[in-house]
Chains A and B, each alone.
Chain A
């Protein structure tokens, strides 16, 4: 089990933060283009899912998986989106993504007066806290690095 990468988007689609741990393949486009493609895909999935749903939804889209990876999605009521790609062995990690929001983003970005919201996060403290949080997750394997 391993974590591949993590994207953090604000409600306007700006990529606030990106980090990767064990990623073997790049998308073959610039990082800026990749963020836009990822956000666009999530935006379309959300509208697709809300049209397809047979019942009214509460949380909406949670995750999708392909033959090689699983994408986990969590959105706060303020529109902040946390996206984590892991391998297929990982189950529901909604609470983990919520912890990234409440323990790391809120603590080290929202409560930091030097961090302006709605633009990419520069704070080194945030990055190191996030990195150590993800590395301590039970499904982050030791060999991945």
Chain B
């Protein structure tokens, strides 16, 4: 089942994410053209513009990851029960954040639709993919960003399988 996002009207704080299906990053389209120039030329019309919340920069991603790291630790410190782990699942009205910490302290975090099922098995699958295609890769140095093609391919596949399961689905 293909799920296409419903087109959103522009709102305060939103940015242009795509024009005519072409991804936009900041001021420039994926093929390096200026967005405003592209829109001012009549030859490009009609245009379909997709609006949405601006994407996070890699700097912001790093900042949020370190923030979650401390929230995870405080969550276990404030526990009213002994022997609690950190935050495993965080729920908001628009998404659910699932976190899986391995015995060696690596955290895998997945943001999903609140109704999406099978995230726990997806997290374990991602750990498996990480072990098989990043850790066992002799060219991968530990605790550095993962740039392995096989890892990316298998990760994408696992996400597609989990996505197909959909809400209330059986999972992987």
Contacts and interface: CB of A to CB of B under 8 A. Distances in A.
A67 B82 CA distance: 10
Contact of A53 (B75, B87, B92): B92
Given A56-B11, A64-B75, 8 more contacts: A34-B78, A41-B74, A44-B67, A51-B56, A57-B93, A66-B84, A66-B86, A71-B75
Contact of B77 (A37, A57, A59, A71): A37
25 contacts: A4-B81, A24-B80, A24-B81, A24-B82, A40-B74, A44-B70, A48-B67, A51-B56, A52-B95, A52-B111, A54-B53, A54-B94, A55-B94, A56-B94, A60-B93, A61-B91, A62-B91, A63-B90, A66-B86, A66-B88, A67-B84, A67-B85, A69-B84, A71-B75, A87-B81
Contacts of A57: 92-94
A111 interface: no
A37 B53 CA distance: 30
Interface in B12-67: 13, 52-53, 56, 60, 64, 67
Nearest to B74: A41
A34 B74 CA distance: 10
Interface of B: 11, 13, 52-53, 56, 60, 64, 67-68, 70-71, 74-95, 97, 111
